[in-house]
Structure 1
C-alpha cells in the first residue's frame, strides 16, 4: 500500500485500458492523482503540467509509441521512473530495447496485479538513485571546499622548497573538477 499522494502520468490511447490501469493503481495507491494522455500531442502538453512521481505508458499507440515517450522523458525528466503497461511487447528485442533506453520495467495489461510491485520497485530505484546522486554532489562540494582551503593555506604560507610543485599539483586537481 502506498499511502502518500502519488502523481502518476498515464499514456494510454484506449479509454477502457486507461480505466483498468487506474483502478488497479488505486487499489494499492488510493491517494493517486492521475493525468491521462491518449497520444503524442496530449503527452507533450500534459507532461509539463506537474512534477510526476512516475510515468506509466502503453508501448503501442497510434502514430506514436511508448519508446518515443520514454526517450522524451529520459531527455527532459531524467529522474522520473517509467514503467510500460502494455498489451504486449511483440518480441524480446523490443523489451530489451525499452529497458536499455531507461525503462524501469513493464507490466502486461493481462497481469495488472503485478503493477504494484513494478511501481514500488521503480519508485525505490529512483529514490535510491537520487540519494546516491545527492551524496555524490555533497562529496564533490566538500572536496571543492577542501581544495580551496588547501590552495588558500598554501598561497598564504611562507616559501619553502616544494611549494611550487604543490601549487601545480593543486591546480591540476582543480582543473579535474
Structure 2
C-alpha cells in the first residue's frame, strides 16, 4: 500500500469505469484524494486549482480525446505523470504513440479485472519521483495554485492597449522566473 497521500485527477466519462478505478485506487493508496472530470474545461480547472500528482485519463471522451487531455496537462505541467486507461486503443502502434507523446503509462480496459496489478507499478513510479518531504510538496502545490490562478486571470484579461499587453508580458516573465527558481530549489531539497 502506498502510504504517501496521492492527489489523482481521473478523466473518465463512464460511471462504471470510474467506480472500478476508484475502488482500485483505494486498495493501492492509503490516502487518495481523487477528483473526477470528463471534459477539457473541467480538467483545465482542476489542473489550475487541484494540482494533481498524477492524471489518469480515458482515451475516448464525449467532447475530446485523451491526446487533447495529455496536451493540456503538458501545457500546465510537462513533468506531471499521465496514465492512459482506455478501451478504445487496441493497436500497439497507437499505444506506443501515446507513450511517445508523453504519457507515463498505458492500461487497456480489457484488463480492468487486473487493474490493481497493472496500476500499482505506475503509481509506485509516481510516488518514487515525488519529494518525500510532505511540507515542501504542499508549499509547492500552494504556490502552483497561486501561479496558475494568476496566469489564468492574465490569459482571460481583455487587454485593449499596448501598455497593458506589455505589463502582462512582464508579469508572466516574472512568474516564469519565479517558477524556474522554485523548481531549482525543489530539486535541491
TM-score, shorter chain, exceeding 0.5: yes
Q: Number of matched residues? A: 132
Conserved 8 A contact 2:53-2:126: no
1:17 correspondence with 2:17: yes
Conserved 8 A contact 1:107-1:118: no
Q: TM-score, normalised by structure 1?
A: 0.67
Q: How far, CA to CA, are the matches of 1:37 and 1:26 in structure 2?
A: 18
Pick from 116, 121, 139 the counterpart of residue 117 of structure 1.
121
Q: How far, CA to CA, are the matches of 1:84 and 1:39 in structure 2?
A: 15
Larger Rg: 1
Query: Structure 1 stretches (4+) deviating beyond 3 angstroms?
Result: none
Q: How far, CA to CA, are the matches of 2:79 and 2:91 in structure 1?
A: 27
- 1:7 Cα deviation from its structure 2 partner: 0.5
Structure 2 unaligned runs (5+)? 132-179
Q: CA RMSD in A?
A: 2.3
Q: How far, CA to CA, are the matches of 2:127 and 2:90 in structure 1?
A: 26
SS in structure 2 of the partner of residue 8 of structure 1: strand
Q: Which residue of 2 aligns with 1:63?
A: 63
- 1:79 Cα deviation from its structure 2 partner: 1.7
Give the 5 Å matches for 1:36-75: 36-75=36-75
Structure 1 unaligned runs (5+)? 128-132, 139-177
Conserved 8 A contact 2:4-2:31: yes
Q: How far, CA to CA, are the matches of 2:26 and 2:70 in structure 1?
A: 23
